[in-house]
Amino acid sequence: MLEAVELTKTYGRKVALDGLNLTVRPGDVFCLLGANGAGKSTTIKLLLGLIPPTSGEVRINGAAPRRGRGGANVGLGYIPEQVSLYPRLSGLENLRYFASLAGESDLTRARLTEALEAAGLPADAVDRRVSNYSKGMRQKVVIALAVVRQVRGLLLDEPTSGLDPLAAREFGRLLRDLSGRGVAILMASHDLHHIRELATRIGVMKGGRLMEELEPTAADRAGLETRLLQFL
């Protein structure tokens, strides 16, 4: 479970995030939406521990987060808008490298290949250099990393921007799969269609504040895009 408690971040006089209270439970796909500058990326970076809060706190499973070797909070995965991998290494070699950085010790080919295939990477791409991968394929390597690390929480920033509709749908399927296994997912997105399909909860942000929280029922979903547009 991921929690933000009165989480606030200021840069000089600019309030990027203003007293955010938020809980993402195991199995939730919590989608954050809001105009540019609303505070979505700031929320994600604070939860990950990539930037320190000005006040308030982050809790993971009810306790203060533990920091990993790279400084980020332990047990969480991150998928940024642009996934950076080593272009000359294959998908499998990238996965092995990042998994070892994360402290994983079982890095056998069998285990890594299984994770890449679970993430939907075609078997014939596993040993190809990632410089030839599409954005969707690069994301699958990072999803495979989350699978190998058995993360309890996954944070995503605009993951479907630049994905074609089929790749976006497949990406949605992978996220649903992870949430079905009890991963707590928080995703910032402008993609209303994707949000409608995936979100178990929706937060609407404006000016650093969480203005609205919705828990859409199946019946709500048809009119959801129109409703969300009203908030924006």
Chain contacts with ligand ATP (rule: CB under 6 A): 11, 14, 16, 34, 36-42
Q: Find the helix or strand (DSSP H, E) in which 92 lies.
A: helix 91-101
Q: Residue 195 and residue 202: Cα distance in Å, rounded?
A: 8
Q: Which is nearer to ligand ATP, 34 or 53 (CB)?
A: 34
Given its phi and psi angles, is residue 30 left (phi above 0), alpha (psi -120 to 50 degrees) or beta?
beta
> How far apart are CB 116 and ligand ATP at their closest, in Å?
29
> How far apart are CB 11 and ligand ATP at their closest, in Å?
3
> How far apart are CB 215 and ligand ATP at their closest, in Å?
21
**Neighbour-count burial of 68, counting CB atoms closer than 10 A to its CB (0-12 exposed, 13-18 middle, 19+ buried):** middle
Q: Which is nearer to ligand ATP, 91 or 203 (CB)?
A: 203
Q: Which is nearer to ligand ATP, 72 or 116 (CB)?
A: 72
Q: Which is nearer to ligand ATP, 128 or 209 (CB)?
A: 209
Q: Residue 201 and residue 14: Cα distance in Å, rounded?
A: 28
Q: Which is nearer to ligand ATP, 120 or 208 (CB)?
A: 208
| Residues 206/35, Cβ–Cβ less than 8 Å | yes
Q: Residue 80 and residue 84: Cα distance in Å, rounded?
A: 9
Structure tokens belonging to residue 29: 């796909």
Q: Which is nearer to ligand ATP, 9 or 201 (CB)?
A: 9
> How far apart are CB 46 and ligand ATP at their closest, in Å?
9
> How far apart are CB 40 and ligand ATP at their closest, in Å?
4
Q: Residue 75 and residue 180: Cα distance in Å, rounded?
A: 17
> How far apart are CB 106 and ligand ATP at their closest, in Å?
36
Q: At what angle do helices 135-149 and 165-180 cross, to 10 degrees?
A: 10
